[in-house]
Structure 1
């Protein structure tokens, strides 16, 4: 069932008397004063594109004719269209930031409106500097406006930039759109002539919130606009795959990476590892197949790139050391925690689930603790666990009864609620539990497969989807609803929300949707339910996990301390002591976290000189109220919510949001193909019961117990698409054409942030080259680059995107 949800609509609403529904728009109509042209006229340079893919690059923007730009009598319009430029008809009208309409409601005076492509904008010096510009589109197609540049003329002592980055629709659909300059103001410091426009902008974006009330009791996300079904008025109708789900137009940037793979119906399970190698162009022993061999065998060209985990040492993925290392440096390095008491036990209701004590005894582990007693190991912080018991157990019986009515749509499941106990060696590696025979598969291989299927499923539905994608969406909505585009926090966070709503909408349509999963053998909807262990219970299980969600514990220092992986003060991350010294995710992540927090603190201190400035910022307080009481309304009464009454709360909250949308997402989401692209290394489901301990398992029997062929191809196809990260903007980067600030101090703070990340990148490179740090690359010899800030070409998981874009 797809519930109706709360909404944010930047556009695409019926025409209103006070203007269009756009971010940066929504200006009430007021009496216009047409000033008499008595001085030199302002020059505005506009750069725009009809389509997103044809937005002018920053290089083109700066290649405008210098002589033309200096001409004080012309409005110069630089166009990049796939249609003749004479079809474009835009009008511009400047709004004063210093002079109000006489006898009016306090809004700034508007200047002369000009509609030609080459125009003369009249502007009297007495009107001071413009603070906004009204843009009308008299064409019959929408235009994407990147930037407007207003030169120093007619009383404007310095050049003024309008960072638009938004769509302007024809006047028949939306009368106009208003863009502010790239200055930032908290509401109380906004120039009085712009205050009314600022308030109109937010009022025009507001919609009734669905969720958090008896009348509208639904989770909060962007409204889709889909009509209800005939059978159930509370359930939304589906969107056909050839149609796009609604996303506010400014949030739809490019094409979402997620796509429904069109793959053949191969059916059944793989029979050999060589068959899987062939998908990526490797021969039966994992070497790159020569072109001559492929031609002679009439084999098809490789369908997918070689996953990193088999790119250097194709057989090392089977080693226990590598299995353990991936808990510190794989795609789910955030689940391992310290064991403080033994025996292990669950925290579920014993009346419902009975005794939950682990069957692992002291006798089982004593031989692998280097002569150390159990009590010594507990006290010294040498025992760790990856425990999925409480997440899986409530659904274990239902999962194991699949496919049930879905027979023919999903494969059978056989699950266990897995716990993996680990011992920390002196060299910071984790002790394997047994010695692996390289000549055959064993019951131990299947035990690792069952544990990994638990792990990949929880990472996908809890750490990746829930903790990043789903819980970020209320922040995106609240930011657009409550913070003006003039607000400094809006400018700080906006780059980290880029395309997130679009990706989430596509994910709900294709990835998480239930129902028609296969058609003519092709997996095209509900991919996650088909390919992951929990199947149709996955989203319900993520909901149960959300009941224990805590925003403050998503901050990296707090997370490490909670899991027992670090000691110290979470507010002083530089001095945290890691229990596992060679913990790549934690070591690299803390350096990234410290750099982000320093940047956020430097930026916020420019606009908030003390705690009182935070509490008196009405927009900021409204933003946080919506995040807590509406966006996360089901948890609004939790005691852990920050009060947002001091600068420290603001810095910590913004740092956490940026961390989640950038570095954390890169760590748990963007390296999936490198490890899960080779399914034997990271099975996503298991379908057969464990054999007796010590039993020999054939290769075919092992492969017949994990992810089948069709599901494997769907996973590989979806994960491989995330490697093509075209048009990505990475952490600390802003496109030159964005013109995000007019002040020197924020720009200098950003430059310091960029420099600090370059230092971090250098340290990561040095650690990856250090042979004493065995967890950095492991037996498979894949360096840990998930949190390397710099981006290099190629299909390697490297670089931290600014936002959640896949």
Structure 2
């Protein structure tokens, strides 16, 4: 890299012979993914200067500087332009050779500064001496020169003195964590986390609020946080294909079952299209249809009844409804198109129309996993309970003993009383049937009391909704606030089943407890599923993963130098998140947007998210803490997982592990836990992933921190943590601990990485598998429970809403081609990395048609 020979071809303002008292340093300047116009405009407009890592200028307190070098000038610029123009296919990477004249005592370069003097164009700098991977914008736009450091990582106090001043100046182009408006955040009424500044001007009619972007794809995201053009197009294509699959008219060809069983076809069709007329005698149509379908099932691997014609292999539901069957696509229904225009970005809608114009005939969909193996399992109580533990929202169920508060005891007593004395309506066989039902219910009650003593009673609580229902209900929405009690009857049973559901309306005017095996039971489960789906979308998924991470990303970019080892550790886990969040706010969470249209919470959706942010605590986001808090695990005893370096302990440099023996100062939850339910997939699989992450973080941090004092004296980490607590999450005062020990640093980093990887995959990639079948996860209901023989017409969402919901679930559950998975972190220790590989297949580069859309592994970051 260093030359001593003279040279007259230096790329400086004027050409001269090489000074023999100086050295020549040369390197290759790689530009990638950049607009052609920015390359044409190079030359004197792009200036580069090196800084020494070894020696410092006593005047500037910076490393010794080189002379300026220019990317291109004069004849070389003209030659490069001709090369570019002559290319038939534009190359992605263009390389320029730079030479710098430095003093003999310059030493090794430790940093360089790039100044883009052009007024309009940016370029993507891939590398120069070392990998850069960043956009360089005109200095007139960002107001500062871009500083790049070598790949060497340093804690602040270990930084070479010659680079300290440059490190202090080094910041990426990120905005301050400012709110988008006064509605959410900065108040006790509507607390919320801070997020990326949008850059939009105030609304003309209301200067206290910011206006929206002209296009949902035109909003401010720092250049280095933007999704690649290829991925953005892939996301658009996925959305277009999902809309075509589920919102275009199905084939008009007559189905086989139309001829064989027209009455059955009518019943199922009416079930999916509630506006159709069904006679009053079909008030209990859900159970009757399911029973009828069971009689027609094909033989399965575990036995069971079969259809009259077992040779016919076409699926019943694919045949009748056509949701998942191949379609002949021609055009959108006019009314559907009008509704889509209000919800879907114009760019997407235009692409849908253009695709339909091609007269494609190969649009088909993969069956959601909830009906792929057994078309009717979703309606079973045992499956309802299983999904609370391993479905798309497995993070809300509580052990009843841990959930109970003093003020809940009276409610629980009334709940049990109503379980026992339920007033059954219109008994078919008179008194005898009533007595039989009550005797059955007493047995259920006794089972519940026994399970309660064994700490095997659980609750799914959405009672908080009651205070919002007076605003929510109306305009086609009829919803209750629900509480569901579930039991695992004895210690040998891991099967959790619901036994009673409480449905309430505001003011306590209606508080109905529906026991299992009663006429209203199936309808009550729909209301529970609707409550759970809204909580999943607004809280478990959006708030507790996407949103809460955003202040951490902003603080990392603002407070941690790229040379800081923790910046390097966290960077893969922040990939694409800021841009994805911006897209979510522009398309799904915006006023009148997709989620407000689909969820029963409607225009109050984000207000509910704000209300539930009051419960969020960072310390409870650690998986062990979360499981203990909800009573789903009990603390056990084992050796420490986190064994950090201690003062005066000689470190084993071959393994980068410190000797054990640290006192148990905090985080006792690191001890091995005993799960209350062994068959709790979220907890059981999650603990393995958590342990692998924690082990990796511990060993990584051990390389840089020798004792607790190193953590206390790390000024960048302290400023990072302070900004997160006091600015990013300033509306949440509880749940924060000081990062002043090695163990506390490891705990915070492990928790953050867990949120971006394990927690996010648990609540995101199962959305289509469970929500792709609307009956399993209805997003809103349009009727309260029926009275007597009242017909339950229009209970479910209309067909457009159901189809759009399926399309959205399909989109959100898909991995993209540039996804990076957790087990691709090469430094993961071999013994623990095996537990993170079961579903990863060649890092996602396998044939998608051979696997379920969510069976690709655990992505590093929240990038969809």
TM-score normalised according to structure 2 size: 0.68
Query: Match for residue 797 of structure 1?
Result: 854
After TM superposition, give the deviation of residue 685 of structure 1 in Å.
0.9
**CA distance in structure 2 between the aligned counterparts of 1:543 and 1:84, rounded to whole angstroms:** 44
Q: Does 1:284 align with 2:360?
A: no
Query: Could you give the per-residue CA deviations for residues 415-459 of structure 1, whole angstroms, max 9, x where no partner exists?
Result: 11111211115231113549xxxxx99632221111000001111
Q: Distance in 2 between matches of 1:213 and 1:187?
A: 36
Check 1:104–1:706 CA distance in 2 against 1; reply closer, same or farther (3 A cut): same
In structure 2, the partner of 1:413 is 477
Give the Å deviation of 1:104.
Answer: 2.4
Does the 8 Å CA contact 2:572/2:860 hold for their aligned counterparts? yes
Tell me, yes or no, if structure 1 residue 430 matches structure 2 residue 496.
Answer: yes
Asked if the contact 1:346/1:389 (under 8 Å) is kept, the reply is no
Report Cα offsets for 1:342-383 as digits up to 9, x if no partner: 9x78969x9xxx978763446379859789654432231221
Aligned CA distance change for structure 1 residues 44 and 272 (closer, same or farther; 3 Å): farther
| Secondary structure in 2 matching 1:385 | strand
Aligned residue among 220, 226, 230 for 1:246: 220
- How far is 1:332 from its partner? 0.4
Mapping for residues 557-576 of structure 1, pairs under 5 Å: 557-568=624-635, 571=668, 573=670, 575-576=672-673
Q: Distance in 2 between matches of 1:340 and 1:102?
A: 67
Unaligned runs of 5+ residues in structure 1 are 1-33, 52-80, 151-160, 404-411, 435-439, 518-525, 735-749, 766-784
Spell out, residue by residue over 1:205-252, the C-alpha distance to the aligned partner (whole angstroms, 9 max, x if none). 6758567599x9985211111111122211011213355121111111
The alpha-carbon distance between structure 1 residues 432 and 202, as it changes in their structure 2 partners (threshold 3 A), is closer
Q: 2:717 aligns with which of 598, 609, 620?
A: 620
* Corresponding residue pairs, total: 652
Structure 2 counterpart of 1:759: 835
Residue deviations 1:554-604, cap 9 Å, x none? 110010011111000664546200010011110000000011111111111
Select which of 714, 717, 726 maps to 2:807. 717
TM-fit CA distance, 1:543: 1.1
> Is the 2:27–2:98 contact (alpha carbons within 8 Å) kept by the matching residues of 1?
no
- Write the distance in 2 (CA, Å) between the matches of 1:537 and 1:346: 30
For the 8 Å contact 1:274–1:284, the answer to whether it is kept is no
**Partners of 1:605 and 1:563 in 2: how far apart?**
32
Match of 1:44 in 2: 27
Q: 1:456 to 1:347 in 2, by over 3 A?
A: farther
Distance 1:679 1:35, change over 3 A: farther
| Corresponding position: 1:447 with 2:503 | no
Query: Are the counterparts in 2 of residues 387 and 419 from structure 1 also a CA contact under 8 Å?
Result: yes
Q: Of the candidates 471, 474, 485, which is equivalent to residue 398 of structure 1?
A: 471
Task: Summarize the alignment of residues 752-791 of structure 1 with structure 2, pairs less than 5 Å apart.
Answer: 752-753=828-829, 756-762=832-838
Residue in 1 aligned with 2:123? 143
- The verdict on how the C-alpha distance between 1:304 and 1:345 changes in structure 2, with shifts beyond 3 A counting, is farther
Distance 1:38 1:731, change over 3 A: farther
Quote the residue 2:616 is aligned against. Answer: 549
Given candidates 146, 153, 156, the residue that maps to 1:187 is: 156
Q: Secondary structure at the match of 1:118?
A: strand
Alpha-carbon shift at residue 550 of structure 1 (Å): 1.0
Provide the residue aligned with 2:688 in structure 1. Answer: 591
1:547-696 mapped onto 2 (5 Å cutoff)? 547-568=614-635, 571=668, 573=670, 575-636=672-733, 638=734, 640-692=735-787
Q: Which of 188, 198, 201 does residue 170 from structure 2 map onto? A: 201
The question of 1:483 aligning with 2:560 is answered yes
* Native 8 Å contact 2:705 2:742 kept in 1: yes
Task: Provide, for residues 172-210 of structure 1, a one-character-per-residue CA deviation record: whole Å limited to 9, x for no partner.
Answer: 545642211122222222111111111112498675856
Which of 450, 454, 465 is 1:376 aligned to? 450
Other-structure match for 1:500: 577
Does residue 122 (structure 1) correspond to residue 198 (structure 2)? The answer is no
Are the structure 2 counterparts of residues 136 and 621 from structure 1 closer, same or farther at C-alpha, using a change threshold of 3 Å?
same
SS in 2 for 1:120: strand
- The structural deviation recorded for 1:796 is 2.6
> Alignment partner of 1:166: what SS?
strand
Which residue of structure 2 aligns with residue 16 of structure 1? Answer: none
Tell me: CA distance 1:164–1:469, structure 2 relative to 1, closer, same or farther (3 Å): same
Q: Closer, same or farther in 2 for the Cα pair 1:634/1:759, shift >3 Å?
A: closer
Q: Distance in 2 between matches of 1:535 and 1:46?
A: 52
Measured after TM superposition, the shift of residue 41 of structure 1 is 4.3
Gaps of 5+ in 2: 1-16, 73-95, 180-184, 250-266, 275-312, 331-358, 423-437, 501-516, 637-666
- In 2: Cα distance, 1:176 partner to 1:690 partner: 65
What's the offset of the Cα at 1:726? 2.1
* Structure possessing the higher radius of gyration over alpha carbons: 2
Output one character per residue of 1:474-522: Cα deviation in whole Å (capped at 9) or x when no partner. 11111111111111111111211111111111111111111xx4xxxxx
* Change beyond 3 A, Cα 1:308–1:212: same
The answer as to whether partners of 1:346 and 1:357 remain within 8 angstroms in 2 is no
Give the Cα separation in 2 of the matches to 1:142 and 1:575.
52
Structure with bigger helix share is: 2
Q: Could you tell me how far 1:691 is from its partner in structure 2?
A: 2.1
**Structure 2 residue 52 is matched with structure 1 residue 96:** yes
Q: 1:83 to 1:733 in 2, by over 3 A?
A: farther
Measured after TM superposition, the shift of residue 335 of structure 1 is 0.8
1:466 and 2:517 matched: no
Of 415-424 and 580-589, the range deviating more from structure 2: 415-424
* Rounded Cα–Cα distance in structure 1 between residues aligned with 2:449 and 2:524: 27
- Asked if residue 110 in structure 1 is aligned to residue 66 in structure 2, the reply is yes
1:487, 1:37 → 2: CA distance?
A: 38
Deviates more, 1:469-478 or 1:452-461: 469-478
